[in-house]
Amino acid sequence: MEQVVKITQEQKDQIEGQKFAIDSYFNPWQDADGNWIVSTTEQELCIHPDFQWIKKCPRIEYKPKPYPMPEDETPVQE
C-alpha cells in the first residue's frame, strides 16, 4: 500500500504553502482517519533548513477519504 507522512496540526500550520525544495511547496491534506499528512516525496526531497524535522515524522499507510458519488454518475465497472 501507499505510504504517507503523518504530521500534527501544528506542523501542518507551519509548513502549509512553504517551499520544501526549489519551486516545490508542501501541500498537507487529511486522510480518512483525520490525520494530517504529506507525501513521502515532500519528506524525502525537503532541503529547507527550518523543516528538516519532517524527515523524522512517521510514515503510515494512506487511507483516502471516501467521496460520495454524484447521483447522476454511475461508478466505473472494472
Q: What is the pLDDT along the chain (78 residues), one digit of tens a residue?
A: 799 999 999 999 999 999 999 999 999 999 999 999 999 999 999 999 999 999 999 999 999 998 876 776 666 666
Q: How far is CA 55 from CA 1, 4, 29, 32, in A?
A: 20, 12, 17, 23
- In the chain, the DSSP E strands lie at 3-7, 19-21, 24-25, 29-30, 36-39, 59-61
For residues 38 and 24, what is the distance between their CA atoms, to the nearest angstrom?
13
* Grid cell in block for residue 70: 454524484
Please work out, in degrees rounded to the nearest 5, the angle formed at the alpha carbon of residue 64 by the alpha carbons of 59 and 68. 170
pTM of the model: 0.82
